[in-house]
Amino acid sequence: MINEVLHTLPQVLIDGLTLGAVYAIVALGYTMVYGILELINFAHGEIFMTGAFVGTAILLTFAGFGWLASMPALVALVLVLVVTSVVTGLLGMGIERVAYRPLRNAPKLITLITAIGVSFLLQDIVRFIAELKNGNYILTGPSLFSGQIGIKASSISSIFNDASVKSSFFIVLIVAVIMMVTLDFFVNKTKWGMAMRAVAQDRETAALMSVNVNKVIALTFFIGSALGGATGVLFAIQYGTIDPYIGFILGLKAFTAAVLGGIGNIRGAMFGGILLGVMEMFAAANLPVVSHGVLGAEYKDVFAFAILIIVLIFKPEGLFGKVSVEKV
Amino acid sequence: MKNWLHTIQQNKRLQAIIVGLYIVVTFFSLYLAQKSVVAFLLLLSSLLLLYFTTFSNRVKWLIGGVVMVVLLPLAASQGEAYQSYMEVATLVGIYIAMALGLNIVVGMAGLLDLGFVAFFALGAYTYGIFATGQANNFMPFGHYPLSGESFWVFIFIGCFVAALFGILLGVPVLRVKGDYLAIVTLGFGEIIRIIFNNLDKPVNITNGAMGLASVQPPRLFGIDFMYPSQFYYIVLVILITVIFAVRRLEFSKIGRAWKAVRENEIAAQAMGIHLVKTKLMAFAVGASFSGMMGVVFAAKQTFVDPTSFTLLESITILVMVILGGMGSVPGVILGAALVTILNLQVLTELTNWLNQLSLNGVINVPDALSPAKMQRFIFGVILILFALYRPQGLLPAKNPVFDEKELKDADKLVNAGVQKEVPQNVHLDS
């Protein structure tokens, strides 16, 4: 049994790392908004999904004009990433303006309900457009990086099997790392980042110190949503097929990742994302082996939610978070 | 207009005439025009009109009872659309009971539960497993499927199982609050669905994604309950029990404790409310209604599969509660009725009408935009608009107001009761 688990380990780790990178960047969006507004932006998963669709639509248009063949894949990728993140960033700002800002002093339950409303709205709008244009809301984008690279893990030790990697894996990983490092730098080192942290600490006092709170919150939503949208593009490139309902569950898992790392903590979100991705892949590959086929790979979602529930109950501040004291 | 309303409000005889006339007119319009969905809906809405009158509660219940038990089935039974009307009425009843359950959890106790449909699923599967041959796979004793007579026992068993799981969910979840609670319950709902979807191995309990087919119909005195028109009465009886229970609970000690917890947990605790007990009670009671209706649903559909218990269903029930007014029993009833009718009748009718138009070549509506597929869109819009502009819902919750002096005067009278009701803003804080 152990042998079987070890055999598949290299492939599991690579797949887990890819998925984990996606989770990590989506989790960043949750964490940023939560850190500043103490609001779970339920619609973030849908922004991710919209990003995936916008990116795929752009790629399909390029392919339709025949430009995709003529330009280097990397240029196309950068172009798509930039356009998509601007679109989803603006979308995020719009959502904040319409659904969250009027309710900033309302009870949290109400904001949560608008957030659910927004995510349902986005799901259906995207479905309309996709189905209208395409006849079917499940889209398959053109593959940009389709090469396969074999990793000779068996040469290290005969226990491991060889693994294979799509070359888009590296793109996903590299872009994810670049985004995370830039964001970390932005929040910790720049003036706007400082304003964000000030608003997160205390909104009123920050306002007194001539920080434009509304602007900062809008910017937070822009950055968080832009990251989410860009991740959507990466997801579409890596996994190929997308539908309007991928965002919800993935968003939920990314939220789990954010909670796991300590919500409100950017580095924690990255770590939680990668950890959750690897754990989930590990569970998907090994649950049937360990339980002798009793539990199928379908239980990986149960596994992820169980982690969420356990973390929330026993360590709600997460692995890296600070314990928050409730104000009365 | 205002004057008019005022005079009508003052004059009970006038109200009686208006309501009576309305019921008679809509009754005959449905009686004569069998295919008219509008007439059916108008007759149903006589109950709403009744709610706004100033009659005493007993009179309202009496008239409402006559409309529901006699007039509605009688008027609808004249044509071939009878069963489809009754189907809608039955489903409305099922959803009302569920929405009332969720209303206790969300509206009264202020605990946002996004996995509520899990309890419905538990109820449905409890009956579904034992009323099909499925139970033979894991139960060594007994002979399955159980006969239809067991249905009546299973209503209580479903109620109990759901309540039990409500408590099981509640115990660990009590430590988290607000948004976290919402996400944890959402996760719970998904877990239950995935488990039901995959519980066909190692032992085939739920038959996985295939679902349980040909569930035994309920049987009473040798009569099998097969048609929606028969289920209508079952649902009606359960629903009236549920409404009665909810009304009694709302103004009892536990109901007031729920509202106190909703308004401010810490203050409520300081006033001596046992937080754990109160919240668990809310989960258990809310879940039990849902479980009961799950059993009825399984028996009515004669088919249970995991696709009936998705997140969309949970959100649907939440929309009912929000639309009607969180914490308000009449509001939630209205909300549930509106949403169910919207889903079952209005959207399908609109779709048919548009299809007809496209067939005739009048306009061309692409399939992607057909109203039947608009559910999510409509729910999203309802959630956002109501949260932004009318968080109290259509019929806001009211709290009884007690006059201190009169209470003191009537000290000897135990039943010194509700004086009048004034609107109260539902204030939910998590």
pLDDT digits (tens, 9 = 90+) for A255-303: 888 888 887 777 788 888 888 888 888 888 777 777 666 676 677 778 8
> Residue A164: phi, psi to the nearest 5?
-125, 150
Q: How many CA atoms lie within 13 A of A38 on its CB side?
A: 16
A322 lies in a domain? no
pLDDT tens sequence across B317-359: 888 888 888 888 888 888 888 888 887 777 777 777 777 777 7
**pLDDT value of residue B367:** 67
pLDDT tens sequence across B42-74: 777 777 777 777 777 777 777 777 777 777 777
CATH classification at residue A147:
1.10.3470
Selection from A219, A233, A183 nearest residue A93 by Cα = A219
Q: Under an 8 A CB cutoff, do A121 and B381 touch?
A: yes
Is residue B138 within 8 angstroms of chain A, CB to CB? no
pLDDT tops 80 at residue B218: no
Q: Position A137: which residue type? A: Y
**pLDDT value of residue A158:** 66
Mean pLDDT of A14-19: 84
Contacts by B276-280, CB closer than 8 A, 24 or more apart = B276/B174, B278/B109, B278/B254, B279/B109, B279/B111, B279/B170, B279/B174, B280/B166, B280/B167, B280/B170, B280/B171, B280/B174
pLDDT band at A328 (very low <50, low <70, confident <90, very high): very low
pLDDT tops 50 at residue B429: no
Q: Say if CB A287 and CB A297 are below 8 A apart.
A: yes
Is residue A136 within 8 angstroms of chain B, CB to CB? no
Report the alpha-carbon angle A207-A209-A210, nearest 5.
70
Is residue A316 within 8 angstroms of chain B, CB to CB? yes
Query: Rounded to an integer, what distance in angstroms lies between the CA atom of residue B150 and that of residue A230?
Result: 56
Is residue A86 within 8 angstroms of chain B, CB to CB? no
| B381 contacts in chain A (CB < 8 Å) | 117, 121
Q: Which of residues 144-203 of A touch B (CB under 8 A)?
A: none
Is residue B390 within 8 angstroms of chain A, CB to CB? no
Residue of B311 and A145 predicted with greater confidence: B311
Query: Rounded to an integer, what distance in angstroms lies between the CA atom of residue B366 and that of residue B356?
Result: 13
**pLDDT value of residue B3:** 76
Range of the domain at A210: 2-314
Residue of B204 and B240 predicted with greater confidence: B240
Among the partner residues A39, A113, A294, nearest to B387 by beta-carbon distance: A113
Task: Search chain A and give the residue with CA nearest B267.
Answer: A328
Q: Which residue, among B105, B138, B174, B179, would best test binding to A if mutated, counting the most A CBs under 10 Å from its CB?
A: B179
Q: Under an 8 A CB cutoff, do B175 and A113 touch?
A: no
pLDDT band at B430 (very low <50, low <70, confident <90, very high): very low
Q: Which residues lie closer than 8 Å to A260 by C-beta, 6 or more apart? A: A268, A272, A275, A276, A307, A308, A311, A318, A319
b/e code B161-185 from CB counts within 10 Å (16+ = b): bbbebbeebbeebbebbbbbbbbbb
Environment class of residue B1 by beta-carbon count within 10 Å: exposed (0-12), middle (13-18) or buried (19+)? exposed
Q: Say if CB A112 and CB A40 are below 8 A apart.
A: yes
pLDDT band at A153 (very low <50, low <70, confident <90, very high): low
**pLDDT value of residue B383:** 84
Helices (H), B220-328: 228-250, 253-263, 265-270, 275-301, 311-324
Q: Which residues lie closer than 8 Å to B70 by C-beta, 6 or more apart? A: none
Q: Which of residues 18-47 of A touch B (CB under 8 A)?
A: 39-40
Contacts by B49-57, CB closer than 8 A, 24 or more apart = B49/B18, B49/B19, B49/B22, B50/B19, B51/B330, B53/B12, B53/B15, B53/B16, B53/B19, B54/B9, B54/B12, B54/B15, B55/B12, B55/B15, B55/B16
Residue-by-residue DSSP string for A17-74: HHHHHHHHHHHHHHHHHHHHH----TTHHHHHHHHHHHHHHHHHHHHHHTHHHHS-HH
Query: Rounded to an integer, what distance in angstroms lies between the CA atom of residue B276 and that of residue A138?
Result: 45
Q: Is the pTM of this model over 0.80?
A: yes
Q: Under an 8 A CB cutoff, do B187 and A123 touch?
A: no
Q: State the CB neighbour count (10 A cutoff) for residue A290.
A: 15
b/e code A263-283 from CB counts within 10 Å (16+ = b): bbbbebbbbbbbbbbbbbbbb
> Residue B320: phi, psi to the nearest 5?
-55, -45
pLDDT tens sequence across B285-321: 888 988 888 888 888 888 888 888 888 888 888 888 8
Q: Under an 8 A CB cutoff, do A309 and B187 touch?
A: yes
Is residue B276 within 8 angstroms of chain A, CB to CB? no
Environment class of residue A250 by beta-carbon count within 10 Å: exposed (0-12), middle (13-18) or buried (19+)? buried
> Residue B334: phi, psi to the nearest 5?
-60, -45
pLDDT tens sequence across B138-180: 777 767 677 767 778 888 888 899 999 888 888 877 777 777 7
pLDDT tens sequence across A62-82: 887 777 677 777 788 888 889
Is residue B32 within 8 angstroms of chain A, CB to CB? no
Task: Search chain B and give the residue with CA nearest A303.
Answer: B191
**pLDDT value of residue B416:** 46
What is the number of structural domains in chain A? 1
Element (H, E) at A166: strand A163-166
**pLDDT value of residue A84:** 92
Domain coordinates in residue numbering, chain B = 1-79, 88-322
